[in-house]
Structure 1
């Protein structure tokens, strides 16, 4: 099929962005005939179906599209995911219906690794604990010019253990080496790169000073870090998660932090987002636990790049030559 014969060239296309407010960036108009409809956010389910009726292209960041919705949307031809992860999409149902799914890749090579290192630094340098001390007046009451009380550790000379070594894992490794860290990796497939130390999951957890997760969320990776894995880590170790919340058993982590099983954790993701009030990690009031609201990806530069790539994906599909297709 040539580009001129592609069905999207035959009529004006209806494009619906289900959660426009999830992207703080300028989204340019696609360079082909279309109707553009956007909604600040969409609850899902019946509202998703209502808004996508007649649409040939759906854009979603975090609004799920499952079998129940897809079955009611016979005109849908493409789902443009405004993110890298596609766990919100029923991939087999899309394949059965011939719906093309395209995601965004490699837009966050700076922002997520920088956030990851920021969490490491804040925890190793005890920034939260010492800020709380200053706010409580402990420094002001000190007999010395400085205030001790929380052990500070350097990143230099420590071991970073990476679970996952895709684009983001590699970028984190690059920054970590600049700080003088030794990098070890546990990856699903062999790594063809000189100088990379590959370890089993058990050895990585047992020897790393900082464990950082960079895995997709699948049936195999869900709760890959649970009570057993946490207990196998060094009591001085940190756990960093800027990937997916479901990778970690949150109740087990809350218990590990409360009981001193590990030294601290820095998270940017939770298993359900927005989180429910009863999430055990939301109950923690510990200076050695930092939780940010899924913002590691969200630098201004990264979001604008994402927006540009998003429309480029839509335009490529409209030309009959889709790119970044999720297999």
Structure 2
């Protein structure tokens, strides 16, 4: 089986090995693939892995040997699912990919909003704290998260991961979903 990774860098910036895929067949890994390179790179492959490279109807129709598309992300938005289904191509994704990392990043952004960490870091590096007449140096008023209410719109994997972190910081959590 011929396996093509169209945009390996997005998943693996160099700290992972693609070696185990060699047990499944011949693998070729491209760091990134531009739209005009996609059809040629897929060629006669049976399987492709992609993260951000768009696989639309034109590409699917131009690659008749394609049997499997693995999306190295949580969604299917880069794949023409209708065209893949019509062509009998199996499409999968990784539903739990990066859930913890996105939840941590969400809380990190919340902390940045409350404490302006970037501004304070730049100011300290410029020597402003050292030159301050006050020991308790701050550029902006601090906002304590404890006791505040966080509203989550959606309660999928990421929302369910953010909620306990927010609660650990003493926050009240409200949730709304479409379901």
Give TM-score scaled by structure 2 length. 0.90
Which residue of structure 2 aligns with residue 92 of structure 1?
A: 82
Matches within 5 A, 1:157-176: 157-176=147-166
Q: Equivalent residue of 1:71, what SS?
A: helix
1:98-137 correspondence runs (5 A): 98-137=88-127
Q: Deviations over 1:64-101 (max 9, x none)?
A: 10111111011111101111121111111111111110
Unaligned regions of 5+ residues in structure 2, if any?
A: none
CA distance in 2, matches of 1:33, 1:151: 57
Q: Which moved more, 1:48-57 or 1:30-39?
A: 30-39
Note the alpha carbon deviations across 1:253-281, whole angstroms, 9 max, x for none.
xxxxxxxxxxxxxxxxxxxxxxxxxxxxx
- 1:43 correspondence with 2:34: yes
5+ residue gaps, structure 1, are: 1-12, 190-327
Matched, 1:20 2:8: yes
Aligned equivalents of 1:55, 1:69: Cα separation in 2: 12
State whether residues 126 and 151 of structure 1, in contact with CA within 8 Å, keep that contact through their aligned partners in structure 2.
Answer: no
Q: Which has the higher contact order (CA 8 A, sep 6+)?
A: 1
Partner of 2:135: 145
Runs of 4+ aligned structure 1 residues displaced above 4 Å come to none
- The structure-2 alpha-carbon separation of the partners of 1:142 and 1:33, relative to structure 1 and needing over 3 Å to count, comes to closer
Q: Specify the SS of the correspondent of 1:171.
A: helix
Which whole-Å CA distance do the structure 1 matches of 2:130 and 2:29 have between them? 53
Q: Secondary structure at the match of 1:111?
A: helix
Q: SS in structure 1 opposite 2:111? A: helix
What TM-score do you get using the length of structure 1 for normalisation? 0.51
Q: What residue in structure 2 maps to residue 5 of structure 1?
A: none
Shift of 1:32: 5.3
**1:18/1:38 contact within 8 Å kept:** yes
| Partner in structure 1 of residue 69 of structure 2 | 79
Secondary structure of 1:110 counterpart: helix
Q: Is residue 182 from structure 1 mapped to residue 160 from structure 2 by the alignment?
A: no
Alignment of 1:214-253 (within 5 A): none
1:36-78: per-residue Cα shift (whole Å, max 9, x none)? 111111112x310001111110110111101111110111111
Distance 1:88 1:108 in 2: 18
